[in-house]
Chains A and B, each alone.
Chain A
């Protein structure tokens, strides 16, 4: 229960941050990705603001084995840079460039009642489902 309440809080603040920053608007994100046109550097400021806070939080987290609510710290174990990581990143980047949506802003725009965002999110979930099916078949093989 505590875990879910903290998750709800984090999700809500994350979403509000995306709205304040303008990143829930794909046209603004595309303005950042369009370096050959008139360039809008805002996204870099969003990342910088988030990372400034994040660096401090991770420095605190590194010294702990339990979270402040008493849960185990679950950090990604992999440090390996492989083909999956890079190809997956490239694929995601192409999709990001086509619509201007990454997962968070897509979900926030869905919450704002945008039909087009709902279509994007439905396709994204379908894509994640395709990944699951491929992975399960690979595991069986």
Chain B
């Protein structure tokens, strides 16, 4: 039986934040005609093509700069990173290689792909969700870390 963590569950801010993410993806799509896939936007910087760099950097500056803009109004919510440095390095490598091999991450396949009803993106999303569930199960409940 699944037990809900009622004290951590934040349905309204999650939904509102999700709508903002949707608005971001929608603006990128309707203004620029592109899919807002973050791993693709970042990864594309590593195979530079002429005229293809500025907009990628602009998107990433917006993303990385969001906390600074947020701080103009109020304090940032807590960011709790429990993983140690070796785990973060392994995780980063897997996320970097995996998202490029699988042609997308939570934004490109998860948000955009599912929004355009792509079966390919559904397959990718199910793959990374399943692997995420199993990994956390193994780490927290089998290894007890």
Residues on A lying within 8 angstroms of B by beta carbon are 3-28, 30-31, 33-43, 45-58, 60-62, 66-69, 71-76, 78-81, 84-104, 106-114, 116-117, 119-132
| Complex A-B, nearest 4 residue pairs according to Cβ-Cβ distance, in ascending order | A127-B96, A21-B17, A49-B18, A88-B102
B66 contacts partner chain A, Cβ-Cβ < 8 Å = yes
Q: Are A20 and B20 in contact (CB under 8 A)?
A: yes
Apart from the given pairs A92-B128, A112-B67, A121-B92, 20 other A-B contacts in the complex at a CB distance below 8 Å:
A11-B24, A17-B18, A17-B22, A26-B81, A30-B82, A41-B9, A47-B18, A47-B111, A52-B22, A61-B30, A88-B102, A88-B124, A93-B98, A95-B95, A98-B139, A101-B95, A102-B107, A111-B64, A127-B100, A132-B43
Q: Which residues of B contact A10 (CB under 8 A)?
A: 24-25, 27-28, 31-32, 36, 59, 62
Chain A's nearest CB lies how many Å from the CB of B24? 4
Give the secondary structure class of B's interface: helix
Report yes or no: A126 in contact with B92, Cβ–Cβ below 8 A.
Answer: yes
| Total chain B interface residues with beta-carbon distance under 8 A | 114
Q: Which residues of B in the span 48-82 have a Cβ within 8 Å of any Cβ on A? A: 54-70, 76-82
Closest A residue by C-beta to B93: A127
CB pair B63 A14 closer than 8 Å: yes
Which residues of B come within 8 Å of A, CB atoms? 2-5, 8-11, 13-36, 38-39, 42-43, 46-47, 54-70, 76-83, 85, 87-103, 105-107, 109-120, 123-137, 139-141
What are 24 A-B pairs at a CB distance below 8 A? A6-B28, A10-B24, A15-B63, A17-B20, A19-B66, A19-B76, A21-B20, A25-B80, A31-B5, A37-B141, A39-B2, A42-B10, A49-B17, A54-B111, A57-B115, A84-B102, A92-B102, A92-B131, A93-B134, A94-B131, A95-B96, A102-B107, A103-B107, A125-B42
Report yes or no: B59 in contact with A7, Cβ–Cβ below 8 A: yes
- Per the bound structure, the CA–CA distance linking A51 and B69 in Å amounts to 25
Most buried by B among A7, A36, A81, A110: A7
Of the candidates A20, A22, A61, A125, the one whose C-beta lies within 8 Å of that of B96 is A125
Within 8 Å CB of A101, what residues of B? 88, 91-92, 95
B17 touches A23 (CB 8 A): yes
Q: How far is the CA of A17 from the CA of B4 in the complex (A)?
A: 24
- Asked if B97 and A14 make an inter-chain contact with CB atoms under 8 angstroms apart, the answer reads no
